[in-house]
Amino acid sequence: MNPVLASLKSVGVIRNGRWLIQGISLSIRKGEIISLIGPNGSGKTTVARVLSGSIAPDSGSVSRADGIRIGYVPQRLVIDSTLPMTVRRLMNMNEKFDTAEIEQVLDEMKVLKSADQPVQELSGGEFQRVIFARALLRKPDLLLLDEPSQGLDFRGEIKLYNQIVDIRDRLNCGILLVCHNLHMVMAKTDSVICINSHICCAGTPVNVVNDEAFEDLFGPEAARSHALYRHQHDHTHLPDGSVRSV
Amino acid sequence: MTIEIFDDFVSRALIAGVGFAIIAGPLGCLVVWQRLAYFGDSMAHSALLGVALALVFDFNILIGVFTVCFLVALIVGRIGEKSTLSGDSTLGVLSHSTLALGLVLVSLMYWIRVDLLHFLFGNILAVSWSEILTLYGCGAVIMFVLIRRWNNMISLTVNEQIATAENMQPVKNRFLMMVLLAAIVAFAMKIVGIILTVSLLIIPAAAARQFAKTPEQMAVLASVFGAIAVILGLTLSVEFDTPPGPSIVVNASGIFIIGIIATTIMRKRKKWSS
């Protein structure tokens, strides 16, 4: 089995007297893709931030392998208009890279033509790809992607999923993929974790390649890249946040 | 004879002002980028409290001002995290409370004659060689730290989560930035005074924004614009006997306005030609 890159042990984060996440345990290994799903406000981003180190857990513990390089692509990033910044300069923000390397990764993400443009002039989708390219450029051991597919159409999502698998194969990195879709996940996901402040259920996605109805609806391409995730929760959530088993 | 004396204090003022402007350039950019203008104002307003304390306990005024500014920065950071008040209200309370407290304390000290106007509007024409030496000494240290930590500062400006993930230590470096800001505010009090401190940080930076494509260009341009404003301002002040601090700021504003007009024309022409 591949070595563990990062793991959470019954991690909880409390803000303003409310537990954003509680008792979350998971670990990501090298070359493994984990999809993290859950409704809005369920704490998916919080989990990603604890893994990245920007939030310290209030209970439990987080551990990261020594000296691992983390690439973090936040859900939304706005660069203040007062900060002059070209795409090229942004790529070199924290460490210096070769021009050839930068252009190659920008090309891969189809944003090479914007290399010398101010980032504020890019469209939302283009900018998101630039941020993605930045994270890739660092050749991370652990890649944290917070809802990278939001704002994409179905075609765009298929392309993105293929790209993510490709990245995993090339860099042999661990990937945490935060998704907004509760039932459809990336087919090549090794495991799916469904959270709603705590872990509701976890498992592997069910292949939809042979699901004819799905193939009829979205085409064979979609069936290869997407997979179903069937939940089996043994509990319900009450309005006050407490959990009742059924 | 009179001309020699005259020349001497003007050249001292020029040396001090230009030196200050060079350091203020990149720091002013950080203030603009991180929307810290009001925060800087609070620091500057609290400076008078530092003056009062320095006079009471009889130690160096610069150190007094620096210490109080730094404490204000710490308090703002702490309250900001926990408070239900909005950031600008917190700053408003702190900014004006410290200014008022400083004014009251200074006026209570009847045994010391303090010219408040010097602190409020600066007295760059009275700057001494030893003060210039201190300014350049501290300025060199500030510049050194800024250049070494520049990428960290840019990184925390862009996004703190990414900065953390990429091991750029945003929390530590934000703290460092506050220390540098407190230092520059202490010096600014001498040059333009408490009331106009922030203007000499943000106006050159704002003027530079219009021409810059990268953060580094903006920082260097801000220093250049600030230095030009100091030179023009002091000339104006000597020529027409206007107060030096406000004269410098008026010139900085002039550069800013010319910048807006120039870039607007440039953009129009570009549009026409393409």
Q: What are phi and psi of A54, to 5 degrees?
A: -85, -15
Q: Is B159 close to A70, i.e. CB distance below 8 A?
A: no
Q: Is B166 close to A85, i.e. CB distance below 8 A?
A: no
Q: pTM, whole model, 2 decimals? A: 0.87
Q: Which of A177, A234, A232, A229 is nearest to A208 (CA)?
A: A229
Quote the pLDDT of residue B205: 96
Instruction: Calculate Rg over the CA atoms of chain A.
Output: 19
SS3 per-residue string spanning chain B: CHHHHHHHHHHHHHHHHHHHHHHHHHHHHHHHHCCCHHHHHHHHHHHHHHHHHHHHHCCCHHHHHHHHHHHHHHHHHHHHHHCCCCHHHHHHHHHHHHHHHHHHHHHHCCCCCCCHHHHHHCCHHHCCHHHHHHHHHHHHHHHHHHHHCHHHHHHHHHCHHHHHHCCCCHHHHHHHHHHHHHHHHHHHHHHCHHHHHHHHHHHHHHHHHCCCCCHHHHHHHHHHHHHHHHHHHHHHHHHHCCCHHHHHHHHHHHHHHHHHHHHHHHHHHHHHHC
Residue B3 has pLDDT above 80, yes or no: no
Quote the pLDDT of residue B59: 85
- Residue of A50, A93, A176 to mutate, testing the B interface (most B Cβ within 10 Å of its Cβ): A93
Q: Is A80 close to B159, i.e. CB distance below 8 A?
A: no
Identity of the residue in A53, A82, A84 whose CB atom sits nearest the CB atom of B164: A53
Q: What is the pLDDT of residues A175-222, one digit of tens each?
A: 999 987 877 788 788 888 988 888 888 888 876 656 666 667 667 777
Q: Is A86 close to B214, i.e. CB distance below 8 A?
A: yes
- Who's near B137: CB < 8 A, 6+ residues apart? none
Token representation of residue B252? 């900085």
Interface of A with B (CB under 8 A): 49, 52-54, 69-72, 74, 77, 79-80, 82-86, 89-90, 93-95, 118, 138, 144
Residue B226 has pLDDT above 60, yes or no: yes
| CA dihedral (B169, B175, B179, B184) positive or negative | positive
Q: Is B209 close to A82, i.e. CB distance below 8 A?
A: yes
Q: How confident is the model at residue B1 (pLDDT cuts 50, 70, 90)?
A: very low
Bigger pLDDT: B252 vs B171: B252
Please state, in angstroms and rounded to a whole number, the distance separating the CA atoms of residues A59 and B225. 51
**Chain B contacts of A52, Cβ < 8 Å?**
161, 164-165
Token representation of residue B253? 């504003």
Quote the pLDDT of residue B5: 54
| pLDDT (mean) for A64-70 | 91
Residue B6 has pLDDT above 70, yes or no: no
Please state, in angstroms and rounded to a whole number, the distance separating the CA atoms of residues B147 and B204. 19
Q: What is the pLDDT of residues A2-50, one digit of tens each?
A: 889 999 999 999 988 888 999 999 999 999 999 998 888 889 999 999 9
Provide the mean pLDDT of chain B: 88
The CA-based dihedral angle spanning residues B174, B180, B186, B189, taken in that order and rounded to the nearest 10 degrees: -90
**Tokens 């953009």 identify what position?**
B267
Q: What is the pLDDT of residues B113-157, one digit of tens each?
A: 778 888 888 888 888 898 899 999 999 999 999 999 999 999 999
State the smallest CA–CA distance between residue B158 and chain A in angstroms: 6
Lowest mean pLDDT, pick from A49-53, A125-129, B260-264: A125-129
Residue B195 has pLDDT above 50, yes or no: yes
Q: Which of A108, A156, A152 is nearest to A133 (CA)?
A: A108
Quote the pLDDT of residue B225: 97
State the smallest CA–CA distance between residue A148 and chain B in angstroms: 15
Please state, in angstroms and rounded to a whole number, the distance separating the CA atoms of residues B273 and A184. 50
Token representation of residue B39? 């925060």
Bigger pLDDT: A90 vs B90: A90
State the smallest CA–CA distance between residue A214 and chain B in angstroms: 37
In percent, the amount of chain A with pLDDT more than 70 equals: 96
Quote the pLDDT of residue A235: 82
Q: How confident is the model at residue B73 (pLDDT cuts 50, 70, 90)?
A: confident
Burial category of B185 from C-beta neighbours within 10 Å (exposed 0-12, middle 13-18, buried 19 and up): buried
**Chain B contacts of A71, Cβ < 8 Å?**
165-166
Q: Is B162 close to A49, i.e. CB distance below 8 A?
A: no
